Amino acid sequence: MSNYDPDLLWLLMYKNDYSTGTLEHLDKSYKKFKQVLDAGFANKVVSNGRFQAHVWEIILCDILSSYGNLIPKGEAGADILLQTNSGETIQVEAVTPNEATDPKLQTVKPVFDKDNFYSHSGNVNTMELPIVLRFLQGFDKKADMAYEKDKPLIIAVNTGLVVGMSTQDDFVLRQALFGLGCVQITRHSDDSYTNGFQQMPKLDKGGGEFQVARFRDEKYAHVSGVIYSSQKPHSLTPHGYGWGNSGLVYVPNPMAKHPVDIDFDVMRTITITDKKYEDEEAKVKFKSTI
């Protein structure tokens, strides 16, 4: 049994409408999309430590197939290729970071003790820093791979394996992609107020500063945008627990060499430029193509 992923075993062993419906949906999804998934995908998805990462790819296939045709790919290149109605091919690379091995860099977990359920308090920077770190690790790993340079590239990051008690998706994305922190309210001499964000292009993880703000760096201009979720992938199925947190979020890169001309209307969208910050809720509810 140790060869199989615990999340998969949980779904198999605890029979209820949620687990049964989720497994049936994943099975149907695999059968529909197996032509565009990696060779040996069925064996990989059940392997210990690989279930959520491969389910994330299945979920992305289901969602992206609403915006064009998924096409088979070669052994090299991005995980998913989406051909839009206009004939453009968009590369989508999926990544699901695991939690850090260093306990000091792990997210805060609740202590299930009747006298002290929550054992930690602190500001949002401290609470979310481990998620920001793992997001950046996954993003950087995928951004540095070899892609077709003349085609749009979206990196789809799922941090569901990293999250502890909770997370604020917009905060994580602002920090990692733009170097922006918490909202700041500034009072002026005439008693008027303006809102803005903390400028945080660098963060301290205890062993020194490191750069964030990937979408302010020309090195990453080949990345067209990010699809993000902090929920475990199997909970995003129609039979799952629903799109809590923020469901899925799309963040376009304002410096992108190849912008993506698609309105991902089932995703919340965060658009940041030098002149505006716009956070728009999803326009429609996601309906599976399965």
Task: Describe the chain by its helix, strand, coil percentages, rounded to 5.
Answer: 30, 20, 45
Q: Is residue 142 part of a domain?
A: yes
Residue that is written with structure tokens 């301290």 in the block: 204
Q: Is 56 part of any domain?
A: yes
**What is the total count of domains within the chain?**
1
pLDDT at 193 over 90: no
Tell me what pLDDT residue 250 has: 97
Query: What tens digit of pLDDT does each residue of 249-269 get?
Result: 999 999 999 999 899 999 999
Residue 1 covered by a domain: no
**Which of 168-177, 213-222, 239-248 is predicted with the least confidence, judged by mean pLDDT?**
239-248
> Cα(201)–Cα(48) distance, rounded to whole angstroms?
36
Any domain includes 194: yes
- pLDDT average, residue stretch 84-105: 88
Whether the per-residue pLDDT at 172 is higher than 90: the answer is yes
Contact 212, 199 (CB under 8 A): no
Find the domain containing 235 and state its range: 6-280
> From edge to edge, which strands make up the β-sheet containing 153-158?
69-71, 80-83, 89-95, 153-158, 225-229, 249-252, 268-272, 277-280
- Model confidence over 100-159: pLDDT tens digits? 787 777 777 766 665 555 555 556 667 788 899 999 999 999 999 888 889 999 999 999
Whether the predicted pLDDT of 244 surpasses 90:
no
Highest mean pLDDT (candidates 123-127, 196-200, 232-236): 232-236
Query: What pLDDT, on a 0 to 100 scale, did the predictor assign at position 198?
Result: 75
- Say if residue 202's pLDDT is above 90: no
State the pLDDT confidence band at 238, using cuts at 50, 70 and 90.
confident
Which of 244, 250, 243 is CA-nearest to residue 288?
Answer: 243
290 within domain boundaries: no
pLDDT of residue 75: 66
Q: What is the pLDDT of residue 20?
A: 87
Q: From its phi and psi, is residue 68 left (phi > 0), alpha (psi between -120 and 50) or beta?
A: left
* Statement: residue 97 has pLDDT above 90: yes
The phi, psi pair for 21, rounded to 5°, reads: -65, -40
Tell me the two tokens of residue 107. 């997210």
Pairing of strands 202-204, 209-211: antiparallel
244 found inside a domain: yes
**Taking the model in full, what pTM does it have?**
0.89
- The verdict on residue 81 lying in a domain is yes
Task: Give the Å distances, CA to CA, from 100 to 103, 106, 117, 130.
Answer: 7, 6, 23, 8
Flag whether 199 is in a domain.
yes
| Burial of 234 per CB tally in 10 Å (0-12, 13-18, 19+) | buried
Report the pLDDT value the prediction gives residue 139, as an integer from 0 to 100.
97
pLDDT above 60 (res 76): yes
Residue 257 CB contacts under 8 Å (≥ 6 apart), including other chains? 221, 222
Hey, what amino acid is at 231?
Q
Average pLDDT, the chain: 85
Mean pLDDT over residues 229-240, rounded? 85
Length of the chain: 290
* Bridge partners, 80 (sequence order): 92
Identify the band that residue 54 occupies on the pLDDT scale cut at 50, 70 and 90: very high
